[in-house]
């Protein structure tokens, strides 16, 4: 029976991916049709898609999740700095957190249906090769989103990192929070253990998402604060991995 475990997981994973991508088409159309009615309406359909994918992951792959620290979610629009190690957190954030937009690489806008739906969701699409210009774009567009009551989700590592690894966090999220007066909400999780960035399988189990206390960036040195955020997130991830 053990020899059948990995092939069975692979089959389930492929079936899950197929269904997940098929759901993108109708929900993306709904998001686009809702565009004239504003971000809030488009976001509603995006959230229904995210919840649908989470249900598929649960019933096909046996992947559940729980949230610790939900009381730390601010009532006002904020900047969320989220660990990036899996596909889970991209749609998981839509299901778990208040109305927000992502900071993402501009190439994603070209993806059929999924990328098109990012436009009414007010995604901040950057060219990561532009360096300082990309940071300025995040600050300028991010301030606009925050003023409209839309939180901003930043994956400060810039790309999905293998479980147990990290790289220096990008500073754009911290600078945006300082420029706008928004709070920073650090978010850690162990999704990369169950759903690795590469591979053809999801390990059944329960992802733990830990939401940290909001951090007020006012008067702080941005680099020191960025290192503090990274230290907290990576420490939480390491502790979660020790429990798995």
- Cβ atoms of 207 and 63 within 8 Å: the answer is yes
Phi first, then psi: give them for residue 125, nearest 5 degrees.
-95, 115
Residue 4 has pLDDT above 60, yes or no: no
CATH code assigned at 30: 3.40.1130
Considering only residues 7 and 29, tell me which one the structure prediction assigns the higher pLDDT. 29
- Looking up tokens 């565009």 gives 35
Q: What is the pLDDT of residue 5?
A: 53
Average pLDDT over residues 96-110: 94
Q: How many CB atoms lie within 10 A of CB 233?
A: 23
Considering only residues 131 and 76, tell me which one the structure prediction assigns the higher pLDDT. 76
Residue 68 has pLDDT above 80, yes or no: yes
In the DSSP assignment, the letter for residue 108 is G
With cut-offs at 50, 70 and 90, classify the pLDDT of residue 244. low
What span, in angstroms and rounded, lies between the C-alpha atoms of 26 and 24? 6
Average pLDDT over residues 139-153: 97
State the residue range of the domain holding 169: 2-243
Q: What is the pLDDT of residue 3?
A: 40
Number of domains comprising the chain: 1
What span, in angstroms and rounded, lies between the C-alpha atoms of 51 and 27? 11
What span, in angstroms and rounded, lies between the C-alpha atoms of 92 and 97? 8
Residue 232 has pLDDT above 90, yes or no: yes
Both tokens of residue 94? 């839509």
Q: What is the pLDDT of residue 243?
A: 79
Q: What is the pLDDT of residue 130?
A: 80
Residue 216 has pLDDT above 80, yes or no: yes
Give per-residue pLDDT as tens, 30-65: 999 999 999 999 999 999 999 999 999 999 999 999
Most confident of 72-81, 125-134, 193-202: 72-81
pTM, full prediction: 0.94
b/e map 162-184, b = 16+ CB within 10 Å: ebeebeebbbbbbbbbbebebbb
Give per-residue pLDDT as tens, 165-212: 999 999 999 999 999 999 999 999 999 999 998 777 899 999 999 999
- Cβ atoms of 164 and 191 within 8 Å: the answer is no
Q: What is the pLDDT of residue 84?
A: 95
């Amino acid at each position: 029976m053990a020899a059948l475990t990995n092939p069975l997981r692979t089959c389930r994973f492929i079936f899950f991916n197929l269904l997940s991508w098929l759901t993108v088409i109708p929900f993306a159309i709904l998001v686009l049709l809702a565009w004239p009615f504003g971000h809030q309406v488009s976001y509603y359909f995006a959230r229904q898609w995210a919840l649908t994918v989470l249900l598929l992951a649960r019933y096909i792959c046996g992947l559940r999740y729980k949230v610790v620290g939900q009381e730390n979610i601010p009532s006002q629009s904020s900047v969320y700095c989220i660990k990036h190690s899996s596909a889970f957190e991209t749609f998981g954030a839509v299901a778990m957190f208040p109305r927000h937009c992502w900071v993402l690489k501009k190439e994603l806008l070209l993806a059929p249906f999924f990328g098109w739906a990012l436009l009414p969701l007010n995604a901040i699409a950057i060219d990561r090769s532009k360096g300082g210009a990309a940071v300025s774009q995040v600050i300028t567009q991010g301030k606009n989103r925050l003023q409209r009551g839309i939180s901003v989700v930043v994956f400060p590592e810039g790309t999905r990192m293998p479980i147990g690894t990290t790289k220096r966090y990008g500073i754009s999220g911290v600078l945006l929070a300082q420029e706008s007066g928004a709070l920073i909400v650090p978010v850690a999780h162990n999704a990369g253990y169950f759903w690795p960035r590469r591979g053809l399988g999801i390990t059944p189990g329960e992802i733990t998402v830990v939401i940290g206390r909001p951090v007020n960036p006012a008067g702080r040195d941005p680099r020191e604060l960025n290192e503090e955020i990274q230290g907290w997130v990576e420490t939480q991830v390491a502790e979660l991995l020790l429990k798995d």
